[in-house]
Structure formats: structure tokens, C-alpha cells
Amino acid sequence: MIKKENENIIELIEDEVEKNIIQNSLIEDKDKLVVAVSGGPDSMCLLNVLYDLKDRMKQKYNISYTLVVAHVNHMIREESENEKIYVEENCKKLNIPFYYLKKDVKKFSKEERMSEETYGRKIRYEFFDEVLLKENAQKIVTAHNADDDVETIFLNLFRGCGLKGLTGIEFRYKNIIRPLITVEKKDIMEYNILKNINPCIDKTNFDIIYKRNKVRNILIPELKKDYNPNIVNSILRMKKILIEDEDFLNEYTSNIVKQCVLEANDVVKFNYSKILSEHISIRKRVIREIIKYKMKDLDGLTNIHINDILELLEKSIKGKKYIIGNKFKIEIINKNIAILY
């Protein structure tokens, strides 16, 4: 999102969010939305933009929606109680229902043998789902922005990701939507000033013991200073190109899967000769999609597993199996046919 000279940042962000909602079908008529609000700059901007857009969305697109707020206190910082009060008071002003969860993340993360960051995310989304069900709502809305997106792309790159990882955060994942994902943090901060919003500031966002905070507070500022002051926009332009490539590859892969899969019930039977005739990139994608059809997700599946499965198919020895723990098995039935069960 690029600001033109003398353009009102409030209008700019509202227009951007409106565009994101319409172009990506993020909100439908009569949707009830559970908005995740921490009280920080991003979520307070999100809440106010969604509230202020309600009349425009109704008049222009005949889309009406209602808002519910969910706030989580991780009990890590002293100011957390004040943040709860701050968010609740804002909800009262806007006449928006407020839901609250308080949980000792430090304590329970140790018991669960998880990092505080991972456990905190787990309980947040579990709580959002609870509110969703209780309110009979349709979607969860989070305040991820363009800077979050770029940070995620860098973190994925450091882990050694594929093309999908370089496309960053999606507008929508299942029932989670992110209308602010194209809006930069600096614009959000300016929006809050102009709207006289005084958001809470989470000091842990500056604690560089967390990898994301190192990327946010050290790496990106250094890249802006020494290499490219517009690094965020440059990465987002790259993302747009890669999404187009990813969309094409997904569509092509889907067509190959349709040609290969013969039966798809408890046991998935597929003709692997067609798979092996494709480029190695497509072979791996097709194998992943076939496994995903059976398992619903690819948790725990690595590139090593995919390479081993391809090797099994290439050798084409009847009766040979590839077993991944108690997840699934792939077995060669004859020269061209294998089953996954």
C-alpha cells in the first residue's frame, strides 16, 4: 500500500481493507466476526476500521456484519490487567460484545513442554474457536499486517522453505481472515494517532530473545538502512509474483492428481506412472496432495519422506511398502498402481 502525497491515511487504510475484503471474499452478508484484539496498535486499528466500514459495506455491497471481540491475557506482563480493562472499555464505547481469557502461559507451557510462544498461540486460537462456537460466528479476524508478512517470509527462508513459504501469510486460512495484511505498520501507527487511539504497547515485542523480534527490530531496520529503504514493498512485490507462480503450479498439480487417482476412500489407489513422467517438482507436489487427501494435513511430513516415496515408486517392486510410523503406508500393487492406506 503506497501513500500518495497529502492523502489521508485513515481513508487510505479503510479503502485498502475494503478492497481486500471484496477482492478476496473475506466477509459475506450476515457474517458475525470474532476479532482478536490484544489492545496493541494493529488490533485496535483493525477493530476501528471494521467498525467504521460497516455502513459503507452495507451501502456499496449489501454486506452487513457484526463484531465480537476476544481478548487473551497471558499473565506474562504486569500491564496485562490494564490492557484487558482498556480493550473492554473500548468495546463498551462501540457496543461490541467482549470475551476474555486469562491463563498463566509461563506455568502451563512448562507443564505442556512447549515454548511460551507456541503455547500462547495454541490457547489463543482455542479460545477464539470457543467464542466462535458460543456466538455462532463464522470467522476469526486477526490484525496481521504487511510487516508481519515480511517477517514471516524471512523466518520461512531461514528455515529452508519451498516456494509456498516465500508467499508468506495468506488473506485467509480456513476460517481465519486478515484484512490488514497489505497495510504497513508505519501507516497503522499514523492511523492510530489521527484517530486519537492510544493503544497499549507490548514491551515483549522488543525483546530480541524471540527470533521474530530479531527480524523485526534488527534485521529489517539494517536492510532498510544499508540496502533498500523500501525493503518491505520489495518483498511484497516478490510475494505477489510468487503467488501467481504458486497458483499455476497448484492448478497444474490438481489436474495431474485427478488423472492419477483411481479410488479415493479409506484406501487411495493411484496410477504412479503418470506421476513419474512429470518434472521432479510436480512429482513431489502430486505425492504431497495425494497424502494430504488421505491424512487431511502434512504435519510431520518432510522432503526426505517425499524423496523416499518417489524412490519406492521408481523401483516399482510389487509388494514393497513405505511406512511412516502409524500415519500411513504406501504399497506397490503392480507395475503402475500403488495404494495409500
Taken in order of first residue, the domains within the chain and their CATH numbers are 9-229 (3.40.50.620), 260-340 (3.30.465.60)
pLDDT of residue 252: 97
Q: Tell me, what's the pLDDT at 3?
A: 56
Long-range contacts of 237-241 (CB under 8 A, 24+ apart): 238/166, 239/149, 239/153, 239/166, 239/167, 239/168
Residue-by-residue pLDDT tens, the chain, 341 positions: 655 544 699 999 999 999 999 999 999 999 999 999 999 999 999 999 999 999 999 999 999 999 999 999 988 887 889 999 999 999 999 999 999 999 988 888 888 888 888 898 999 999 999 999 999 999 999 999 999 999 999 999 998 888 999 999 999 999 999 999 999 999 999 999 999 999 998 777 777 777 899 999 999 999 999 999 999 999 999 999 999 999 999 999 999 999 999 998 889 999 999 999 999 999 999 999 999 888 888 887 888 999 999 999 999 999 999 888 788 899 999 889 999 99
Collapsing DSSP to helix, strand or coil, 338 comes out as strand
Neighbours of 239 (CB within 10 A): 19
Sign of CA dihedral 232, 234, 235, 241: positive
The pLDDT of residue 6 is 45
- Within its chain, how far is the Cα of 121 from the centroid? 12
Res 1: pLDDT: 62
